[in-house]
Structure 1
Amino acid sequence: MDYRFELAVIPVSDIDRAVHFYRTLGWRFDAEFADDEGYRLVQFTPPGSPASIIFGSGVTDAEPGSTQGLHLIVDDVVAAREDLLSKGVNASEVFHDKTGVFHHAGTEGRVEGPDPKRASYGSFLSFTDPDGNGWVLQEVTTRLPGRV
């Protein structure tokens, strides 16, 4: 039995502002649905990703901006940072974790710059959407065995 992760719901306070932000990132606008009772959902997919995000009204009870640690995998975290900056996104500096493994929560344990060995899975950057939902970009150049 396969269990494929396809969707994350993120809470936002202003749907139209979120639509503008994710369009600015260059993410694919997949769908929008609204009814007469105030229910509205919008779906976007990051370039190259099999998973999407949904936000809107009536799709989650979570507080806007409360979703943290959403990860996007990139081939080159330095180039990805430049891309985000060119789109007006306030991206963090590239960092690696003091443990040399997965990053700590928040900004604890961050060491400036990419992983010194530029090891796959070892370099990161972060940014937030306008509500404060937190995204982390992780550089992966060689997958662990069994991963695609």
Structure 2
Amino acid sequence: MDMKLEVAVIPVADVDRSRNFYGALGWRLDADFVADDGLRVVQLTPPGSACSVIFGSGVSSAAPGSVEGLHLVVPDIEAARAELVRNGVEVSEVFHDAGGVFHHSGTRDRVPGPDPERRSYTSFASFTDPDGNSWTLQEVTERLPGR
């Protein structure tokens, strides 16, 4: 049976501020509705993604800014970073991990610049939303078999 990740819920403190932030990134607004009981659900989708993010009022009991490690896969890490910077986002410099495969949490073992061999899956940049939810850009130029 197919199981597709459709939505990631991110906890935020200010719904309108978050809607504006993600909208400024060029993410498509799919929904913004308020139920009679005050539940507010905002859904946005990154360009080209099959998975959306949802945030709002009464959507999550997690602390705002507590989500880590959400990944946005991009074909060109430097171009993606530059686009985010043009949109006013503070983004880390491009990095790769000293271990060479995936990145450690936080800034441990970060080596400046893209992977020297420009292998797929091994070059990254990171940023946070206004609440501190962390995002990682990951360059994927050639998918592993079966992906």
For the aligned pair, the TM-score class normalised by the smaller chain equals over 0.9
Structure 2 counterpart of 1:120, one-letter code: S
Structure 2 counterpart of 1:57, one-letter code: S
TM-score between the two structures when normalised by the length of structure 2: 0.99
Instruction: Give the Å deviation of 1:38.
Output: 1.7
State the match for 2:6 in structure 1: 6
Instruction: Give the Å deviation of 1:32.
Output: 1.1
State the match for 2:58 in structure 1: 58
Structure 1 counterpart of 2:112, one-letter code: E
Structure 1 counterpart of 2:105, one-letter code: A
Q: Secondary structure at the match of 2:127?
A: strand
Q: Secondary structure at the match of 2:118?
A: coil
State the match for 1:123 in structure 2: 123
State the match for 1:143 in structure 2: 143
Q: Calculate percent identity across the aligned residue pairs.
A: 65
Structure 1 counterpart of 2:64, one-letter code: P
Instruction: Give the Å deviation of 1:33.
Output: 1.4
State the match for 2:33 in structure 1: 33
RMSD (CA atoms): 0.5
Number of aligned residue pairs: give it: 147
Structure 1 counterpart of 2:84, one-letter code: L
Q: How does 1:69-80 map to 2 (within 5 A)?
A: 69-80=69-80
Structure 2 counterpart of 1:41, one-letter code: V
Instruction: Give the Å deviation of 1:25.
Output: 0.2
Structure 1 counterpart of 2:30, one-letter code: D
Q: Where do 4+ consecutive residues of structure 1 move more than 2 Å?
A: none
Unmatched 5+ residue regions in structure 2?
none
Q: Secondary structure at the match of 2:131?
A: coil
State the match for 2:67 in structure 1: 67
Judge which range, 34-43 or 113-122, deviates more: 34-43
Instruction: Give the Å deviation of 1:111.
Output: 0.4
Unmatched 5+ residue regions in structure 1?
none
State the match for 2:113 in structure 1: 113
In 1, the alpha carbon distance for the partners of 2:129 and 2:67 equals 10
TM-score between the two structures when normalised by the length of structure 1: 0.98
Q: How does 1:7-26 map to 2 (within 5 A)?
A: 7-26=7-26
